[in-house]
Amino acid sequence: AQSVSQHNHHVILSEAASLELGCNYSYGGTVNLFWYVQYPGQHLQLLLKYFSGDPLVKGIKGFEAEFIKSKFSFNLRKPSVQWSDTAEYFCAAYNQGGKLIFGQGTELSVKP
Amino acid sequence: GAGVSQSPSNKVTEKGKDVELRCDPISGHTALYWYRQSLGQGLEFLIYFQGNSAPDKSGLPSDRFSAERTGGSVSTLTIQRTQQEDSAVYLCASSFKPPNTGELFFGEGSRLTVL
């Protein structure tokens, strides 16, 4: 079955630390990839997306993600996190069948 | 409307009762999704509508769950004979016909608590 896996369930960092959240997907063929973020008390919103082209994509708030096809990975990165980045982060993979499948989510806590 | 609207925002019910959750998508969005968010479970896909038809119902957990969409707009998710394990936040999202953008716009969710 198609699936998306996120390696880390809860990550705790201090401000200014670098962040990398892992995501792997199990689809073959063409796949569209996303990272969504859910800040405390808010609804899910798009952070960044990859459809094709440059495998390094940049999103809002200084986040970026790299698509590595050979590793079926789409890891999220940020060089220096802020307290306001505290949130839950979801990786998602979208196939041409119209279904967007999410990973289990990673809760990020940034200590001031 | 400006965003995806869901109601009720909170629902507490007794085991065995039926509940209806409503979703009003962004105007012009033809695709509508229902997900369930439980602690430690991430977002679980339930059902997807394209217009009024549901090409993929594979995520509905049991025959107690059903959903419909009328007029290509509002959708209702119905849970019959609720069980405690149905307690979760039910999220609705809408988008333009995939795969044009793929971005889903989410509502605030309906938190269901089954006592």
Does pLDDT of B100 surpass 50? no
B42 contacts on A by Cβ (under 8 Å): 6, 90, 102-105
pLDDT at B25: 95
Tell me how close the Cα of A94 comes to any Cα of chain B, in angstroms: 7
pLDDT tens per residue across span B31-89? 899 999 987 778 999 998 988 888 788 889 999 999 999 988 999 999 999 999 999 99
Find, among B21, B56, B64, the residue nearest to A100 by Cα.
B56
**Residue located via tokens 């033809």:** B30
A27 touches chain B (CB under 8 A): no
Is the Cβ pair B55, A94 closer than 8 Å?
Answer: no
Phi, psi of B31, rounded to the nearest 5 degrees? -100, 140
Tell me how close the Cα of A105 comes to any Cα of chain B, in angstroms: 5
**Tokens matching residue A64:** 């970026």
Does pLDDT of B1 surpass 60? no
Average pLDDT over residues B23-35: 93
A2 touches chain B (CB under 8 A): no
The residue ranking higher by pLDDT, B14 or B58, is B14
pLDDT at B108: 94
**Residue located via tokens 């869901």:** B6
Is the Cβ pair A99, B45 closer than 8 Å?
Answer: yes
Provide the residue-wise pLDDT of chain A in tens; the chain has 112 residues: 678 999 889 999 999 999 999 999 987 677 789 999 999 989 999 999 998 889 999 999 999 999 998 999 999 999 999 999 999 999 998 766 667 889 999 999 999 8
Tell me how close the Cα of B41 comes to any Cα of chain A, in angstroms: 6
Q: What is the largest CA-CA distance in chain A?
A: 43
Is the Cβ pair A99, B48 closer than 8 Å?
Answer: yes
How far apart are the C-alpha atoms of B57 and B51, rounded to whole Å? 14
Find, among A43, A39, A70, the residue nearest to A55 by Cα.
A70
Instruction: Collect all residues with Cβ–Cβ distance below 8 Å to B44 and sequence separation of at least 6.
Output: B35, B36, B37, B38, B59
